[in-house]
Chains A and B, each alone.
Chain A
Amino acid sequence: MGKMTKRRLGNSVISAFLLVGVIFVPIGLASLSASKEIVELVDRYDTSCVSVADKVGFIQNSKTDKTCTRTLTVPRHMKSPIHIYYQIGDFYQNHRRYVKSRSDKQLRYKEAAHLTKDCEPEGNTADGAPIVPCGLIAWSLFNDTYKVSINKKAIEVNKKDIAWQSDKNNKFGSNVYPSNFQKGNLVGGAKLNESIPLSEQEDLIVWMRTAALPTFRKLYGRIETDIMENDQLTVVIQNNYNTYSFGGSKALVLSTTSWIGGKNNFIGIAYLTIGGLCIFLAAVFIVLYMIKPRYVMFPLV
């Protein structure tokens, strides 16, 4: 009785924070380096491609020539496959009215063409025939096109397999063909070739995977050849899509990929910050512990 022993508390906290720090910092470094390796070219073209003051009038006029040529210099060697994305800013694909304005049944099954209830106001034509594919999403399909040439030499942009295979197989019917699409007074976006089934309309499939954020990128196609450093990249853009009336932006993006996906420094920086903080906290705890030790005494019984 009465013999005391000291036990130090707080070790577990300090070691826990140290552990978190030790795990997080390497992950951060790995993510960051993977992100840094990715070569990404972003070229916003919506303002420079329209030189007139009345941009909305320009874009809505079907007579104007909307061709626009952009030249880019590749800063680093880009390894194939190189993804071409179009990036739209301040476009609310996640708006409540927009996001539900589609008919999955109609997209999948030929006999469900009449199921256009959710698609209003783009469900049926003025004379009541169902629109396939119906709804605001399909109606507003992106319709800018890009022709890419490297050092003046045109190269092919592979637009095959840009959509999810699962969507092509199970969400869009191979026997469902577009009909009555973009036949109304107001033409929203791209028109569809009525002889190609929906399951092969990959641009549509990509577009219909709605984005959760107002600024998003969608895959346009792939370049299957490497691009060397300092190569001149010329892109001829058909600047058709109207982002001007709502002040949105459009950009062309070329990017290589790595295990982490596209270029994203956020994760790496966040990991490094948290890892650093944890180590710092651990250090603070150690210092506190040195200055003001906490002992709890337990008797030896």
Chain B
Amino acid sequence: MAHVTRLARSAPSSLLCTVSASLCLTGHIARFSGPGPLLRETADESPARSYGELDAAAEIWRRTAVLVLRPSPSPSRLQFFAKLKAMKRFVYINDESYQNDYCDNRISNTKYTLWNFLPKNLWEQFRFVTLSATKEAWDDYNRYISDRQANEKELWIVKNGSRKHIQAQDIQVGNIVWIRENEEVPCDLVLLGTSEPQGVCHVETAALDGETDLKTRVIPPPCVGLEFDQLHKLKGVIECPVPDKDIRRFDANIHLFPPFIDNDICPLSINNTLLQSCYLRNTEWACGVAVYTGNETKLGMSRGVPEPKLTAMDAMIDKLTGAIFLFQLSLVVVLGSAGNIWKDSEARKQWYVKYDDDEPWYQILVIPLRFELLCSIMIPISIKVSLDFVKSLYAKFIDWDEEMFDLENDTPAHAANTAISEDLGQVEYVLTDKTGTLTENKMIFRRCCIGGTSYGNECGDALKDVELLNAIANGSPHVIKFLTVMTLCNTVIPIKSPNGSISYKAQSQDEDALVNAAANLHMVLVSKNGNIAGRMSVVVLDCQSGKILLLSKGADEAVLPCAYSGQQTKTFVDAVDKYAQLGLRTLCLAWRELESEEYAEWSRLFKEANSALTDREVGVPETIEILRQSGINFWMLTGDKQSTAIQIALLCNLISSEPKGQLLYINGRTEDEVARSLERVILTMRITSSEPKELAFVVDGWALEIILTHYSEAFTELAVLSKTALCCRVTPSQKAQLVKLLKSCDYRTLAIGDGGNDVRMIQQAHIGVGISGREGLQAARAADYSIGKFRFLKRLILVHGRYSYNRTAFLSQYSFYKSLLICFIQIFFSFLSGIAGTSLFNSVSLMAYNVFYTSIPVLTTVLDKDLSEKTVMQNPEILLYCQAGRLLNPSTFAGWFGRSLYHAIVIFLITIHAYSNERSEMEELSMVALSGSIWLQAFVVTLEMNSFTFVQLLAIWGNCIAFYAINFFISSIPSSGMYTIMFRLCKQPAYWITLLLISGVGMGPVLALKYFRYTYRPSAINVLQKAERSRGPMYSLVNLESQLRSDKDTMMVPVATTPVKGKSSVYEPLLSDSPMASRRSLGSSSFDIFQPAHSRTSYPRNIKAN
């Protein structure tokens, strides 16, 4: 047996502990049989949770479980089972006669069946035209292909005692399945046997939970030691819960039928299972009985496609689309009825139209349906395609961004979710994890306090502390024990490489750090088994002395209360506090000899890692500072203790120390205490909200639990009042709850974290950002965006988020503008064509208008930058425009609506007057109107673009040329309706004069308004643009801030006191003068910077400060 921990060289050579253990911790016995010493370990907590909370139902079940042990149940019992089956399932091992109606192991990821594809898909696509149906079908086909590959994989099973070679999809519940090394587990199995004599095997669970370390799985005690042949004949029953998706929990019992030992029920846990999609590693073979198959496996149950995240912008666009749809419907009804009335009163007199006098009743629907057809283009189909396209480009920009490339880890930023870039620009709350997010999560063994003596100094780490080294050399018993605990009490799996060096696969960073530190101190872990969480204990047998030791490690709160009374725990408490204040993560190690009950000496040592001083990630305080300037509120949610969290927060600029800032504590053990504390904090917040003091509240997990259950309303108020919060000792589910709470207040939330405990929060938030750091990739995989370093967040939000928001705001509104434009022209024309629903434009032109002429130029908006990245970074306050949704809201939309109406009127009136009388030929007139639309849209795009690159110019004016080229081409086809039209038009001076007139009349007022506003009522964006255009970004933050504040004062007052609902816009649509704009008088004091007389004295100072 290789469970050997060897303390080499300087350690006393006697401490070669081959350990073996038997332990009974929470009432159940972990038994083992078989030769050789064996190390077993059990969590203190998890069994307690599984068994301590047995409710009545489970008790009843436990009793019935005894009943089933007999192989042939009577019919009445079978009925009884049928009832129970609703709650439980019974798996008869290797016994076809009990075959069941559980699903087989066929997996199916496809969304549709052959029969429901059409109706289901049509329904899903109903809201928008089924452009993506083909893509859906293709994706689903690919899923089907990969499913089939998995389903048809061949493997060995035992069925009714004989071995068979079958396809994975034919596995039935109860079959015994054999898996070889590096094979994927085909369904959820309960482990029965492995090639390893000690009954363990290793699995990689990366596909399931994203953790890359190997996990150890053990054979349930009754099956330990079964021979290969015996496994074929094994019979028994496993009682397990109905399928669920909890991959950390499996509360089941196994009972083997005679002749196999045991008439006892043996409990099973997740450690006895092999779950679907895991890989078997470092083990020659393993076999297990299938308990969940097909889509009922833990993976299958949890696979459910996560709810697609909808951005605030998408929601707004949907809302506007809905409004336009209603508008369209009412137009159809009004025009349809008008058309019918006109038809009856006028058209019947028009003999040349030849209406029948007695026509069928449904003729009354013809005109409304004609108008529906004309107006259907009002909702641009192209908007979805264009938005999908630009969104995928935004995502690519993030992927390609070299400034977000993490050189250290060689990882680029990645946008896994391509659809939500705009939301980045609208973030209002950032919820961040501490460990590894604000800190780099590099665990280094820094300090320890052993038996009252502190090792390690200010700057160096404990490993280099001469005193510690001396103590080891001298074999000081405390220190040796300390190192033993460090080495053994963990879940690290040592892997010996051929050249003899040993590397460790650890489940967590702290364990890795500890074992490596111990290794550096000459305590080398050679081989072991293990697993656990929280506080962890290991029982080892010291072969040398025959003593049984309980080694324990955990957070101070967990360990210290267990310390033997009378010990001088104070030293340790002090040490823990001291270390915590340095921003170090602390752990306590303890050991206890089990044999001699009285003798208990606690050795505690604190080790730590990274967190504070030197390891704090580069650029974190600056990032937080910039993002807070841009109006984003920060909440820190961490599992760390309060003092550590506060320390980190201070170091990260998250909170300010007195007197600039103030921390308000919400604490208490009981409901009353917490309630009082909460009330006090809220009062303080209300009172001081006017003062320029940075307030933050601190709450710990315990109090938070009470608050969230009983005082969630008060807490919501607090959440709205407070810009900063520290939540310590919170669990993953509490993190997610907090996110949910902020979401319910209609804030845009961004959760950022790097560990598995952040996954739920990341999935819950509007935007999840994962740091692809050292703590595994779980968070990064679950996240919408993964970045290498926390400091990239500011670029992600301020640059990518902001640009995305601006661009989408323009693109979506422009799409409506151009569709409305052409639609309005059609409607105006219908008034001149007897309200019968004649289309002015031919179908080719209409199609090309949406697909080519107007789509391509505007796509170059993805390159548009209203302000340079540098300016944005220097003036993060400008993000406010995005956060408050000022560039896309009903009032800006009304501006675009008005503009399209105005342009339609201009085009229509000028066209029908210029091309009247002898020139009023239908094809010519329609082409003049279409050309007018194309010209105007080119000017509009040009006007709305802020930066000009070659690509943009090419797209806009190249598009105009392409318009003529396409129409010349169509005009040269004799069979087309447009034959020769374009050539004729281009020869007429009147055509060009008309177009020039349309452009002048259409753009003149728009331009005048825009420049009037730009000059006399500039927005903050305009101010920065002016600065940029003239001499580079010279405006001081102070001035800009004052302007933004004045914006806020007039418009954003509600922010401070109530949840933001009325996000008013300051962005004035060009054609509708917003009342907001007029509220600010022309010579408003907030624009002092334009008045040379006033501010000249103070201005230079600002410059200098800048």
- A residues with CB within 8 A of B: 1-2, 4, 6-7, 9-10, 12-13, 16-17, 20, 24, 27, 31, 83, 85, 87, 91-99, 104, 121-122, 136, 139-140, 164, 166, 170-171, 186, 188, 209-219, 242, 245-247, 259-262, 264, 266-267, 270-271, 274, 277-278, 281, 292, 294-299, 301
- Residues in A neighbouring B840, C-beta threshold 8 A: 212
Closest to B348 in A: A246
In the assembly, what is the distance between CA of A266 and CA of B1090, in Å? 44
If A1-B1103, A211-B921, A297-B1092 touch, does A281 touch B1008 (CB 8 Å cutoff)? yes
Q: A92-B350, A94-B832, A259-B989 are in contact. List 7 more A-B contacts (CB 8 A).
A: A1-B1103, A20-B1004, A97-B836, A98-B353, A139-B352, A166-B979, A246-B349
Tell which of A4, A31, A294 touches B993, judged by Cβ atoms closer than 8 Å. Answer: A31
Question: In the bound complex, do residue A270 and residue B1016 qualify as a contact, i.e. CB atoms below 8 Å apart?
Answer: no
In the assembly, what is the distance between CA of A266 and CA of B1012, in Å? 29
Closest to A266 in B: B913
If A1-B1100, A20-B1000, A97-B353 touch, does A292 touch B1090 (CB 8 Å cutoff)? no
Interface string of B998-1027 (1 = CB under 8 A from A): 001100100110011001100000000011
If A10-B1015, A94-B832 touch, does A261 touch B988 (CB 8 Å cutoff)? yes
Interface residue B1071 (Cβ < 8 Å from any Cβ of A):
no
Question: In the bound complex, do residue B354 and residue A121 qualify as a contact, i.e. CB atoms below 8 Å apart?
Answer: yes
- Residues in B neighbouring A170, C-beta threshold 8 A: 974, 979
Report 6 cross-chain contacts, Cβ distance below 8 Å, ordered by A residue. A92-B834, A136-B353, A140-B351, A212-B926, A245-B350, A292-B1083
Tell which of B917, B922, B1012, B1016 touches A210, judged by Cβ atoms closer than 8 Å. Answer: B922
Closest to A139 in B: B352
Query: A238 → chain B, closest Cβ, in Å?
Result: 19
- Residues in B neighbouring A261, C-beta threshold 8 A: 918-919, 988, 990
Query: B209 → chain A, closest Cβ, in Å?
Result: 56
- Residues in A neighbouring B914, C-beta threshold 8 A: 264, 266-267
Query: B457 → chain A, closest Cβ, in Å?
Result: 46
- Residues in A neighbouring B997, C-beta threshold 8 A: 267, 270-271, 274
Query: A272 → chain B, closest Cβ, in Å?
Result: 11
Query: A250 → chain B, closest Cβ, in Å?
Result: 14
Closest to A92 in B: B834
Tell which of B353, B993, B1027 touches A92, judged by Cβ atoms closer than 8 Å. Answer: B353
Question: In the bound complex, do residue B352 and residue A140 qualify as a contact, i.e. CB atoms below 8 Å apart?
Answer: yes
Interface residue B1034 (Cβ < 8 Å from any Cβ of A):
yes
Question: In the bound complex, do residue A2 and residue B1004 qualify as a contact, i.e. CB atoms below 8 Å apart?
Answer: no
Question: In the bound complex, do residue A274 and residue B1000 qualify as a contact, i.e. CB atoms below 8 Å apart?
Answer: yes
Tell which of A171, A209, A297 touches B1089, judged by Cβ atoms closer than 8 Å. Answer: A297
Question: In the bound complex, do residue A274 and residue B353 qualify as a contact, i.e. CB atoms below 8 Å apart?
Answer: no
If A94-B832, A247-B349 touch, does A212 touch B1000 (CB 8 Å cutoff)? no
Q: For window 338-370 of chain B, which residues contact chain A by CB distance below 8 Å? A: 346-347, 349-356, 370
Tell which of B919, B922, B1034, B1091 touches A298, judged by Cβ atoms closer than 8 Å. Answer: B1034
Q: For window 259-302 of chain B, which residues contact chain A by CB distance below 8 Å? A: none
Tell which of A2, A166, A213, A246 touches B1100, judged by Cβ atoms closer than 8 Å. Answer: A2
Question: In the bound complex, do residue A294 and residue B926 qualify as a contact, i.e. CB atoms below 8 Å apart?
Answer: no
Give the interface size bracket for B toward A.
35 or more
Most B CB atoms within 10 A — which of A4, A121, A211, A217? Answer: A211
Nearest 3 CB-CB pairs, A to B? A2-B1100, A140-B352, A212-B925
Question: In the bound complex, do residue B1008 and residue A17 qualify as a contact, i.e. CB atoms below 8 Å apart?
Answer: yes
Tell which of A92, A96, A166 touches B980, judged by Cβ atoms closer than 8 Å. Answer: A166
Main secondary structure of the interface of A (DSSP, over half): mixed
Question: In the bound complex, do residue A267 and residue B990 qualify as a contact, i.e. CB atoms below 8 Å apart?
Answer: yes
Interface string of B565-577 (1 = CB under 8 A from A): 0000000000000
Question: In the bound complex, do residue A213 and residue B1092 qualify as a contact, i.e. CB atoms below 8 Å apart?
Answer: no
Query: B534 → chain A, closest Cβ, in Å?
Result: 59
Closest to A219 in B: B918
In the assembly, what is the distance between CA of A126 and CA of B240, in Å? 83
If A245-B351, A292-B1082 touch, does A95 touch B838 (CB 8 Å cutoff)? yes
Query: A136 → chain B, closest Cβ, in Å?
Result: 6
Interface residue B1031 (Cβ < 8 Å from any Cβ of A):
yes
Query: B913 → chain A, closest Cβ, in Å?
Result: 4
- Residues in A neighbouring B979, C-beta threshold 8 A: 166, 170-171
Most A CB atoms within 10 A — which of B353, B356, B988? Answer: B353
Interface string of B823-835 (1 = CB under 8 A from A): 0000001001110
If A31-B993, A246-B350 touch, does A13 touch B1015 (CB 8 Å cutoff)? yes
Question: In the bound complex, do residue B838 and residue A274 qualify as a contact, i.e. CB atoms below 8 Å apart?
Answer: no
Query: A91 → chain B, closest Cβ, in Å?
Result: 8
Query: B494 → chain A, closest Cβ, in Å?
Result: 62
- Residues in A neighbouring B501, C-beta threshold 8 A: none
Query: B266 → chain A, closest Cβ, in Å?
Result: 80
Closest to B356 in A: A121
In the assembly, what is the distance between CA of A24 and CA of B1034, in Å? 39
Interface residue B1030 (Cβ < 8 Å from any Cβ of A):
yes
Tell which of A121, A136, A295 touches B1092, judged by Cβ atoms closer than 8 Å. Answer: A295
- Residues in B neighbouring A242, C-beta threshold 8 A: 351
Closest to A277 in B: B1004
In the assembly, what is the distance between CA of A247 and CA of B347, in Å? 11
Interface residue B910 (Cβ < 8 Å from any Cβ of A):
yes
Tell which of A2, A216, A281, A296 touches B1090, judged by Cβ atoms closer than 8 Å. Answer: A296
Question: In the bound complex, do residue A211 and residue B922 qualify as a contact, i.e. CB atoms below 8 Å apart?
Answer: yes
Tell which of A12, A266, A274, A294 touches B1004, judged by Cβ atoms closer than 8 Å. Answer: A274
Closest to B998 in A: A270
Question: In the bound complex, do residue A299 and residue B990 qualify as a contact, i.e. CB atoms below 8 Å apart?
Answer: no
In the assembly, what is the distance between CA of A104 and CA of B990, in Å? 29
In the assembly, what is the distance between CA of A245 and CA of B350, in Å? 7
Interface residue B920 (Cβ < 8 Å from any Cβ of A):
yes
- Residues in A neighbouring B1089, C-beta threshold 8 A: 296-297
Query: B974 → chain A, closest Cβ, in Å?
Result: 4
- Residues in A neighbouring B1011, C-beta threshold 8 A: 10, 12-13
In the assembly, what is the distance between CA of A211 and CA of B661, in Å? 77
Question: In the bound complex, do residue B1092 and residue A164 qualify as a contact, i.e. CB atoms below 8 Å apart?
Answer: no
- Residues in A neighbouring B977, C-beta threshold 8 A: 104
- Residues in A neighbouring B1016, C-beta threshold 8 A: 294
If A1-B1100, A297-B1099 touch, does A262 touch B350 (CB 8 Å cutoff)? no
Closest to A165 in B: B980
Question: In the bound complex, do residue B1031 and residue A301 qualify as a contact, i.e. CB atoms below 8 Å apart?
Answer: yes
- Residues in A neighbouring B350, C-beta threshold 8 A: 91-92, 95, 245-246
- Residues in B neighbouring A278, C-beta threshold 8 A: 1000, 1004
In the assembly, what is the distance between CA of A34 and CA of B291, in Å? 93
Interface residue B755 (Cβ < 8 Å from any Cβ of A):
no
In the assembly, what is the distance between CA of A219 and CA of B919, in Å? 10
Interface residue B10 (Cβ < 8 Å from any Cβ of A):
no
Interface residue B245 (Cβ < 8 Å from any Cβ of A):
no
Question: In the bound complex, do residue A7 and residue B1030 qualify as a contact, i.e. CB atoms below 8 Å apart?
Answer: yes
- Residues in B neighbouring A215, C-beta threshold 8 A: 916-917, 920
Tell which of B925, B989, B1034, B1092 touches A299, judged by Cβ atoms closer than 8 Å. Answer: B1034
Most B CB atoms within 10 A — which of A12, A96, A219? Answer: A96
Tell which of B347, B354, B990, B1012 touches A136, judged by Cβ atoms closer than 8 Å. Answer: B354
In the assembly, what is the distance between CA of A278 and CA of B1008, in Å? 10
- Residues in B neighbouring A12, C-beta threshold 8 A: 1011
In the assembly, what is the distance between CA of A260 and CA of B997, in Å? 14
In the assembly, what is the distance between CA of A245 and CA of B1034, in Å? 75
- Residues in B neighbouring A10, C-beta threshold 8 A: 1011, 1015
If A95-B834, A294-B1090 touch, does A262 touch B1026 (CB 8 Å cutoff)? no
Interface residue B837 (Cβ < 8 Å from any Cβ of A):
yes
- Residues in B neighbouring A266, C-beta threshold 8 A: 913-914, 916
- Residues in A neighbouring B836, C-beta threshold 8 A: 92, 95-97
Q: For window 896-936 of chain B, which residues contact chain A by CB distance below 8 Å? A: 910, 912-922, 924-926
Interface string of B1063-1099 (1 = CB under 8 A from A): 0000000000000000000110000011110001001
Question: In the bound complex, do residue A96 and residue B370 qualify as a contact, i.e. CB atoms below 8 Å apart?
Answer: yes
Query: B1082 → chain A, closest Cβ, in Å?
Result: 7
